[in-house]
Structure 1
Amino acid sequence: MISIYTDGACEPNPGAGGWAFVVYENGVNTQIRFGGDVSSTNNIMEMTAVLAAIEHCIAHRMKFTEVRIFSDSQYVVKGCNEWRHGWARKGWEKGKASLKNAGLWKAIAAAHDAFPCAITWVRGHSGIEGNEEADRLAEVGRKHAIEHRITSLEEFAA
């Protein structure tokens, strides 16, 4: 079983943000990844963490049935599991307005369609090891973005 814990952080919100994911294979931490942006929001960082985790699964050709991604953002979990199909049918609009973060939601939807894994909500700051580690690393990503004035996700990867 592969469990991936994700988290995002932003201080202030909006402001400098960080994201992270931690991979556990059979209960052992095997991989971490984090990043950040000096100008972001908490929701964008939470979404980016989940997108990065799914992309990691695709890149490493992980088995679909053995992967569960955990997020402490109900917005992201419900967006991935419930709302994205309706948003796509409606042209990524919400009512008469454009959907906030539509580009990122489209990327998550495409990745999740390519890698249909379970995305599950977990209570944040409740002592769950993977969630606590992802939270700590998201803050590392946020501080790194500030130190290096990183202004895009692509820049962080460079």
Structure 2
Amino acid sequence: MASTCWACQRPAFPALHKCPPVGPHGRARQRFQRQRDAIGPSSSGNHAARTRIQSRFGLQSSAVMTSTCSPRGVSRCIKRSLHHLSEIYTILTNAEAAMSDTLDYTDVGLLLHVFTDGSFDPVSKTGGWAFAVFRGSAQVFAAFGGEARTANNAMELLAILQACEWLADNSAGEEAVIHTDSAYAVNGCVRWRHIWRSNKWRKRTPNGQGRSRSVADAAYWRAIDVLLNQNPTIKVKWCKGHVGVEGNEVADGLAQRGRLIGE
């Protein structure tokens, strides 16, 4: 059995094998050539497939890689494709959010829907929080407040904390959904709080040498974590803000009133 060339990974027959100068670029060219050989030359079939991709996703011809691209061209095509895929993902995400925002959240039986929001003035450093509770199509409760020398994310978290406390006191064991337009708060409630808790509410430094940074607003996160663990029927979901969703608009107006209290 013939040995294998370590540079191009092909059978190394002494009389027939020709390997380019050894080096990372030479090996990359060899790998690319094998991939291009596997694809085959450009054909009407490849062109038709490329046309379908372009028409479906609205891509430019430069964003679709062909079998005749050079290695540098492949790199450019990949970058362009990633850019266009990012745009496609954004469009699909926005479309999905828009579809969900057109729903009347209060039509889903008698499930409790709580809308929270925070307001913040960067000049005066004052903020407000609010939440509004809906059962069916009726608003059954609302509360708001304000604080001085605070931050925007802190107000978003305080609104969720107040909503969790109200649900725990007034509808323990009942399924409820808390809607917030803060992606930071949703990610924290759904994903990050479990990691932060295991790290004793500290974050790793960028160089990974230790856990020296405390989680921002750790007191709020600790309280929210306890309440969500004690009340697993409470879910936290994202709701796009300022698109006409009644509950979100109510919470937004109340949060602004709460901010005036904090001034």
The CA deviation string for residues 98-121 of structure 1, in whole angstroms up to 9 with x for no partner, is 111111110110111111211000
Q: How far apart are the structure 2 equivalents of 1:34 and 1:20?
A: 4
Q: Is 1:98 the equivalent of 2:211? A: no
Structure 1 residue runs of 4 or more that deviate by more than 2 Å after TM superposition: 61-65
Percent of aligned pairs with the same amino acid? 37
Aligned residue among 38, 42, 46 for 2:148: 38
**Residue among 246, 249, 256 paired with 1:129:** 246
| Greater relative CO (CA pairs within 8 A, separation 6+) | 1
Quick one: which of 181, 190, 196 aligns to 1:72?
A: 181
Is 1:2 aligned with 2:112?
yes
Quote how far apart the aligned CAs of 1:13 are: 6.6
Structure with greater strand percent: 1
In structure 1, list runs of 5 or more residues that go unmatched. Answer: 147-158
Q: 1:4/1:13 Cα in 2 relative to 1: closer, same or farther (>3 Å)? A: farther
Q: SS of the residue aligned with 1:64? A: coil
User: Greater shift after overlay, 101-110 or 44-53?
Assistant: 101-110
1:84 to 190, 193, 206: 193
CA contact (8 A) 1:2 1:23 kept: yes
Task: For 1:98, give the aligned amino acid.
Answer: S
Structure 1 residue 61: deviation in Å? 3.0
- TM superposition score normalised by structure 1: 0.88
Q: Distance in 1 between matches of 2:261 and 2:150?
A: 14
Unaligned runs of 5+ in 2: 1-110, 205-210
Greater Rg, structure 1 or structure 2? 2
Give distance in 2, aligned partners of 1:62 and 1:29.
Answer: 18
Task: Please give the alpha-carbon distance, in whole angstroms, between the structure 1 residues aligned to 2:251 and 2:224.
Answer: 19
Aligned residues: 145
Contact 2:179–2:236 (Cα < 8 Å) also in 1: yes
